[in-house]
Amino acid sequence: MTMKTRLALMGAGFALAFATPAQADVLEYDVSDAWYSGGCSHGLWTNTLGSGCKRRYSFQDGTTFSVDTDAGTGTFTGTAINSLGKVATLDLSLSGLLDSLDGTGFDYKGNGGPYDPSVQDYFTNASGTITIGSKTYTLNAHDPFAGDTVFQFGIGANDKTGDFGGSSWLNFLDPHLNALKHWDINFILTERPGTPVPAPAGLLLFGLGLAGAYSLRRRKTAA
């Protein structure tokens, strides 16, 4: 390979790597509480695990919802705190991303806004845990969603207020694997600014450019 060819390859690699549009395959959102009622925040509701505000947990900074649109998966992770200062740590994984529930048999919870697949998406499977204190509660692998619901998110999908957010009814098992009455999560989403990254083709050319630069440097050193 001549020096001119190496220089041309380096230039093409650097130029195309940074000229290629960024891909937004993974979307990340900050999570906040859906609403307040009777002085209690409503982010995570643990149903019969306590009463009044004791069973309502407020999502804390750093709680995140992410969606990988290529893989059709998502995560919901972070912490929430109740009125007694108890901390709930959420570690949920989602899969089965759909852009419509038509013909699936799943139910949409529409108290916040109407079913509208043009501005909403849905996950049909979930796994993971919520840990409160020393106890870990596990999503029921055979039936993670209560009442044929799904994990819904988008405009109007927050079942409490209709804001841009989401909701779900979840079936958990206690540490002894006893079934609990459904818990639910209701949340508002704020999109995080994305960090642009080169698309795969751009990364390949960028790598070729770096390889050319390294080869050229070795040639000069040898000379």
Please indicate, yes or no, if residue 161 is contained in any of the structural domains.
yes
DSSP state of 107: B
| Burial (CB count within 10 angstroms: exposed 0-12, middle 13-18, buried 19+), residue 77 | middle
- Distance between CA atoms of residues 214 and 223, nearest Å: 14
pLDDT mean for each 10 residues of the chain (223 residues): 32 42 76 82 90 92 95 97 95 96 92 93 97 96 90 93 92 94 94 56 42 46 50
CB contact at 8 A, 83 and 39: no
Please indicate, yes or no, if residue 49 is contained in any of the structural domains.
yes
106, 140: one domain: yes
Cα 189 to chain centroid, rounded: 10
116, 212: one domain: no
Please indicate, yes or no, if residue 53 is contained in any of the structural domains.
yes
How many separate domains does the chain show?
2
This prediction has a pTM of: 0.76
CB contact at 8 A, 163 and 152: no
Confidence (pLDDT) at 194: 63
Please indicate, yes or no, if residue 199 is contained in any of the structural domains.
no
Residues 6+ apart with CB under 8 A from 202: 16, 17, 18, 19, 20
132, 210: one domain: no
Please indicate, yes or no, if residue 196 is contained in any of the structural domains.
no
125, 213: one domain: no
Cα 110 to chain centroid, rounded: 21
Beta bridge partners of 183: 170
DSSP for 81-138, written as a single string: E-TT--EEEEEEEEEEEES--TTT--B---SSS---TTSEEEEEEEEEEEEETTEEEE
- Distance between CA atoms of residues 138 and 142, nearest Å: 11
Confidence (pLDDT) at 45: 94
Please indicate, yes or no, if residue 197 is contained in any of the structural domains.
no
33, 103: one domain: yes
58, 149: one domain: yes
- Distance between CA atoms of residues 148 and 44, nearest Å: 19
Confidence (pLDDT) at 161: 84
CB contact at 8 A, 64 and 28: yes
Confidence (pLDDT) at 52: 87
Which tokens go with 174? 């206690």
Domain that holds residue 133: 26-191
